Structure 1
């Protein structure tokens, strides 16, 4: 079986594997609904760490940075069904149902959804498409299925209106606090600007005022400083930390580390 299987390309996925996997997801762009079929799913952001196991459901807020860990349990495979609730679709539903949200959503970014027979039955209705991938679901039916998920969520938790239909831009937030918390995520500067509620030019201008250097240089400095701390004080191996610190390859990390500190990271372990 392909992993993950796209039930509706870009919208609904079935994830399947049998070994633990840790993914630096970095930018969680869309509101997302996840049903845990088997195993344990853990999402960790700067403000929350939340886990769920078989039969549980999680609603993830758009525009976040986070890390996901997928772990099989009790010798079984790991399985999830993931539905992206894209803003375009949510806007269409808001227009059709004349839904207006007057205030910005400010509560928890990730919510466990209470068990519900109707929502579980909805997810079960997707399984035939997982078992028979050759039977391609039409775009029209796919959109109806996603709309059904949204209506069921609103029926279970009416308060999710603000969560789902808040289309406002992020408020201009404390850039220094945000960057010190999230510097290890490997995302483009443009994403950092968006998440702090700034244009790219405004982000670079504010960043220079606060940190006294350009964003890319500061990110590299912070990541290398944290790497030295982990290697020297925590006895961490370079191969075990470079991805968590936002480096795309071990060779790039090692080259940058040696250039900064005069020795390769492995030499600090001797």
Structure 2
């Protein structure tokens, strides 16, 4: 179960009473988040990040990230997130003379120092969690601008992340897909992240893999599932979500169709 306090989709309070591993695993905008209670685990396909109450994090836009939200025993998972859209950041640059120097992409998630400035900013937002009315547009704009200024004061190197407005460039499609096949996102997301239109993505994909993206993704995920179950001893119920299948029954049906037995009998 989840409840949200949402203010124009820019400042979001989330509350979960049960473990959650759902949602499209694509981050379209930069997010500054603070862990209020419970545990959050993020995985970008390369690293796993674990956050406890009091931890701050910054998630970069245009990244694939899986999450697992775990409430404490007899409690609830609570977090506060500030979404910094491209529009907000571009407006900020019209007022302040910042520009980015292109750099290597680096980690998808950055841990932020526990600075008094950041703490003070987060604390200023907490009274609005249970407010009956949303932020006024003027107040919302002010709090978002404050978030950017505090981030730049606390971690000046974020300048090159926040103000890089370029879309993803064209990259090695085969390498990208073999790293990220387990993320459950639409083909249009994969296309965008490899610097291609959907049509160009499908065309390049078939030239490289000699099959359609949809068929390849199912086959590659099933191969990895078979390996994880047989060689790592993992249970099918633990594997299917990690590998991009939406439900256990669909996974079991596809697995049996290819391997002739149900995954529980491997």
Q: TM-score, normalised by structure 1?
A: 0.89
Checking the alignment, whether the CA contact within 8 Å between 2:183 and 2:243 is kept in structure 1 is yes
Moved more, 23-32 or 151-160: 23-32
Q: Which runs of 5+ in 2 are unaligned?
A: none
Q: Distance in 2 between matches of 1:238 and 1:46?
A: 19
SS at match of 1:147: helix
| Corresponding pairs, count | 266
Checking the alignment, whether the CA contact within 8 Å between 1:36 and 1:79 is kept in structure 2 is yes
Q: Which residue of 2 aligns with 1:260?
A: 258
Structure 1 residues 42, 236: closer, same or farther in 2, change over 3 A? closer
Checking the alignment, whether the CA contact within 8 Å between 2:117 and 2:154 is kept in structure 1 is no
Q: TM-score, normalised by structure 2?
A: 0.90
Q: Which residue of 1 aligns with 2:63?
A: 64
Checking the alignment, whether the CA contact within 8 Å between 1:104 and 1:168 is kept in structure 2 is no
Deviation at 1:207, TM superposition (A): 1.3
Checking the alignment, whether the CA contact within 8 Å between 1:4 and 1:13 is kept in structure 2 is no
Q: Which residue of 1 aligns with 2:184?
A: 186
Deviation at 1:105, TM superposition (A): 5.4
1:213-251 per-residue CA deviation (whole Å, 9 max, x = no partner) reads: 111110011111122222333343333322222122222
Checking the alignment, whether the CA contact within 8 Å between 2:60 and 2:108 is kept in structure 1 is yes
Q: CA RMSD in A?
A: 2.2
Q: Distance in 1 between matches of 2:104 and 2:224?
A: 33
1:183-231 per-residue CA deviation (whole Å, 9 max, x = no partner) reads: 1111111100111112222212221222111111100111111222223
Moved more, 242-251 or 144-153: 242-251
Q: Which runs of 5+ in 1 are unaligned?
A: none
